[in-house]
Amino acid sequence: MPQRRKIFRMPVPRSLKIKLIDYFIDQIADRVANLLGQQALSSPQMKRSFDAPDKTEEPLRREGDPPSDQPAETEWMSYAKIIGELAPPRHPTAAPRRQSELCKQADFALDAYRYWTSAMGLVPTFHRKHWEFFYICQALYERGLLTEGRKGLGFGVGREPLPALFASLGCTIVATDQAADDALRGGWKETRQHANDVAVLERPDICAPEIFRERVSFAVADMNNIPTELADRFDFCWSVCSLEHLGSLEHGLRFVENSIDTLKIGGLAVHTTEFNLRSNAATLESPGLSIYRRGDLEKLAERLEQAGHYVEPLDLSPGTTLVDGYIDLPPYHNEPHLRLRIGEYDCTSVGLIITRGGQKLVSQPTEVRSP
């Protein structure tokens, strides 16, 4: 009877086995997260979950609201745990001058962040939407634009508190959003992120109703085809994470260029959008959502400067503190939510600041092919 050959197996160290198991667990977790992120692109509820700081009917947590449900694994990374429950300043405070830059944890420790958050009736939270509001307010304030008699234009305002806040500081505001039918098709009405008249923007806790009604008006405006009657009228304009939803990367870039036409000479545009932390090559581009890379923003800055405008220098350093390194995965948390996974890309918010120069920007055709 023939003897069976013995099979010799090399012993595998236990530490290597553990590393292999950990590696495959990480790969499976990433795959599940990516699939969940891809679902976010077509689901209005998931769109809202990374555009708004909580899961309540109102898009923002306000002072006096009960604490939101916080998963145990992230509770120790909350604003209250890391920064503390500090009283906000009574007046605007000095802060490092805003550049075109990324959302970072360090800004949340500023007195200026707590001041603007309190002025909007919000609870200080490690959420990038709060940072975007702070960033726009601080950029305008330190350049002397939030004063009596200034005129501002908001694009895609949804239900944000900025029109009421700016009116309370003496500004005259035209708040705009897309047509109701377009908002319905895009899921923005379902998720309470669309405005169809000035009444939905009224915030008595921020601005007295009589002052608000005197200083704030509403208009329908397609960000891909800005009405000509808005040209050359405003001291400043802004948008909060809207331009990435305009159809493609190029649609968003064209919007930023064309928004400058609404400003007076020397006026300021402040826009925030999605930034790809993972790649300067591959990215997400779709009719509903596009994520901008370093190269896209550098190209935009070059185009604007060639047209005679000034772009605040790009600081795209991602930050090195604790919360800067945390990537929120779907379903997203209330906080920390400075970085998040969308599809296969890690993203955060980026702010752009542009001053209109003396040379008239010649608008390019707005018909751009969607991918």
Strands 339-342 and 345-355, bridge-based pairing: antiparallel
Strands 172-177 and 327-328, bridge-based pairing: unpaired
Residues 6+ apart with CB under 8 A from 39: 46, 330
List the beta strands (DSSP E) in the chain.
100-102, 151-155, 172-177, 216-220, 234-240, 263-276, 310-311, 314-315, 327-328, 339-342, 345-355
- Phi, psi at 49, each rounded to 5°: -65, -25
What domains sit in the chain, N to C, each tagged with a CATH number?
34-60+71-355 (3.40.50.150)
pLDDT at 319: 95
pLDDT at 112: 97
pLDDT digits (tens, 9 = 90+) for 116-161: 999 999 999 999 999 999 999 999 999 999 999 999 999 999 999 9
pLDDT digits (tens, 9 = 90+) for 8-58: 455 656 665 565 566 555 555 555 555 444 444 444 444 444 555 433 333
What predicted TM-score, i.e. pTM, was given to this entire model?
A: 0.80
Residues of the chain with pLDDT under 50: 7-8, 35-49, 53-59, 181, 183-185, 187-194, 359-371
Q: Which of 50, 31, 24, 25 is nearest to 330 (CA)?
A: 50
Query: d(Cα 323, Cα 321) in Å, to the nearest integer?
Result: 6
pLDDT at 18: 60
pLDDT at 333: 87
